[in-house]
Amino acid sequence: MKKTGQKETLLKVLKYIKKYRPAVIASVFLAAVTVFTTLYVPILTGDAVDLIVDKGLVDMQGVFRILIAIGIVMLVTALAQWLLNTCNNYITYHVVKDIRTEAFRKLEILPLSYLDTKSYGDIVSRVIADVDTFADGLLMGFTQLFTGVLTIGGTLVFMLVTNVPIALVVVCITPVSFLVAKFIASHTFAMFQEQSVTRGEQTALIEEMVGNQKIVKAFAMEDIVKEQFGEINGRLEKCSLKAIFYSSLTNPCTRFVNSLVYAGVGIFGAFLAIKGGISVGRLSCFLSYANQYTKPFNEISGVVTELQNALVCAGRIFELIEEKPQLPDSEDALVLEDAKGYVGIEDVSFSYIPERKLIQHLNLQVRPGQRVAIVGPTGCGKTTVINLLMRFYDVNSGAISVDGCDIRNMTRGSLRTSFGMVLQETWMRAGTIRDNIAMGNPDATMEEVISAAKAAHAHSFIKRLPNGYDTVINESGGSLSQGQKQLLCIARVMLCLPPMLILDEATSSIDTRTEIKIQQAFNAMMEGRTSFIVAHRLSTIREADIILVMKDGNIIEQGNHDTLLAAGGFYANLYNSQFAI
């Protein structure tokens, strides 16, 4: 992100803050009260010093009155400071809540093409880690930036009112602080940006390795993964060290400027005091102001560094929020109800990557109740056809229709409700076994859930679980085997019984004996329903009405099992290779 990007990001942040304008106004007011009362204490202290003239010449009553006034002022300062922190926390964490909520909502409507091309770890890093870092920077900005700026302005006013010559000494040294702050800010942004991106890479690798630990161990990839992690970790170390080095210059540099200001006020003020141009009490007041005037430069410089990091993280989360969502359903989109099961694929072409052709000019007409099997080598486009039928992706050209209507002209929800899917990859949700089976029909009765589980031959293993249908599992399925999770997915479809079915290697993780029973259940379920079956084991699709043989995105053969075997083509070779002795 370039410097112009920083300004754009800042403007976007301000739009979120704008919702909490009353709290911002309260924060500025309380910051002003805190600064005023803090700056008023040195004046009272100086007045008290001036009441102590010499031994025996001390106005004790006046000193006590001033001490009481200082105590009251400090109580007001403490209360204002507490309320200020409360306001700042309110603004910061409500803004963060809004941004994180919007980011999560965007995730729900992003096209699958975005999620397929981004690592899950990087997305998680943006929504969690980057937003937390942004929150820290924003909170520091509210807590120290307002008070810092007001302290600088207020101190200058008090000093000018008290003594103009000494105030001018302070003003002349001030530009040094701005030069230091500008130097640090100009060098830290790019480094914090690189740090944030590299941290996202690291999170992605860790998430992938933890989630696939069995695969890593099975292929003895531990050393290679360690090398990958070491390389990313090394880059993160280098960019972090650079960012921290420049940001660590803030404190010593600004302290040096502080010392210059304090020394200038002390020396010049001492000469004035000797000549009677200023009282000792007023000089002590000025020395206190010199400290208070330069302290905000320390804080503001630190805030600038943190804000650089926060803006980088905000820029990454805004990139996610501003991603183009999938095209919404049109207002006049058809709601598909009681689908008959006519499916037409007319001259469809589709590629995930434009320059890499996949499906070209695909044509198919499916009548209600027909069973269509799709076979072919890996990468030929079988699962892609399923993605297009479900509108996970839209075709590049041509059209897919259901009951004579282009699926792009109907609501996604009604289209997907009309299909029942069982994939090789199982989908679980955190909740009970019953919740997982009833995902597509939350209002189903317990009897209906049990009936669906029995039809899927899942009832027996569910009853053996600690709490039966009330057993709680997580997204990975907990202690359930891959086959048991697949049986739950089958039961889920058995419960809904939609008018069209998609079975993509639906029994790939199930033992042969159970598979035979499941196939019988599928045969009963598919009766009268349009069904699309993707299979590598060709023995499971012999009863299909139409078998589509795909290769390189095209249908090269079409017919039933006996016809294709008799033709002695690609399908016959595939089939015979699986049963060759």
Angle between helices 146-162 and 164-211 (to 10 degrees): 170
- 427: nearest Cα among 473, 489, 491: 489
Per-residue confidence (pLDDT) for residue 1, from 0 to 100: 40
Question: What pLDDT is recorded for position 41?
Answer: 80
pLDDT confidence of residue 3? 42
DSSP 8-state assignment for residue 130: I
Global pTM? 0.65
Nearest-angstrom CA–CA distance, 205 and 120: 9
User: Counting every residue, how long is the chain?
Assistant: 581
Alpha-carbon distances of 58 from 55, 232, 279, 287, 452, rounded to whole Å: 7, 69, 16, 23, 95
The rounded distance, in Å, linking the Cα atoms of 550 and 558 is: 9
- The predicted pLDDT at position 76 comes to 92
pLDDT digits (tens, 9 = 90+) for 199-245: 878 888 887 787 777 788 888 888 888 888 899 888 888 888 887 78
Residue 508 pLDDT: 64
Separation CA 228–CA 232 (nearest Å) = 6
- Cα–Cα dist 322/324, whole Å: 6
d(CA 448, CA 433): 14
Backbone angles phi, psi at 54, to 5 degrees: -165, 180
Distance CA 311, CA 470 (A): 46
**Domains, the chain, ranges and CATH?**
3-188+242-321 (1.20.1560.10), 343-579 (3.40.50.300)
pLDDT reported for residue 2: 42
* Sequence-distant (≥ 6) Cβ neighbours of residue 361 within 8 angstroms: 347, 348, 349, 398, 554
State the pLDDT at residue 539. Answer: 64
Compute mean pLDDT per 10 residues along the chain, 581 residues long, and list them: 62 86 88 84 76 67 84 91 89 88 88 79 83 81 74 78 75 70 68 79 82 79 88 87 76 72 75 73 73 68 71 85 83 85 89 82 87 83 85 89 90 88 80 89 89 88 90 81 82 86 74 72 78 76 83 82 86 75 44
Output the six-digit token pair for 358: 């996949």
What distance in Å separates the CA atoms of residue 145 and residue 310, rounded to the nearest whole number?
A: 14
> Where do we find the tokens 């000797």?
274
How far apart are alpha carbons 58 and 81 in whole angstroms?
A: 34
Question: Which pLDDT tens digit goes with each residue over 419-476?
Answer: 888 877 778 888 899 998 998 888 889 999 999 898 888 898 899 988 899 998 887 7
> Cα separations (Å) of 359 from 69, 348, 353, 395, 401?
83, 7, 11, 10, 17
For β-strands 530-534 and 371-375, DSSP reports them as parallel
For the stretch 330-335, contacts whose Cβ atoms lie closer than 8 Å and that sit 24 or more positions apart, written own/partner, are 330/409, 333/409, 333/410, 333/411, 334/405, 334/409, 334/410, 334/411, 334/414, 335/410, 335/411, 335/414
Give the pLDDT of residue 54: 58
Which residue(s) pair with 373 in the sheet? 533, 547
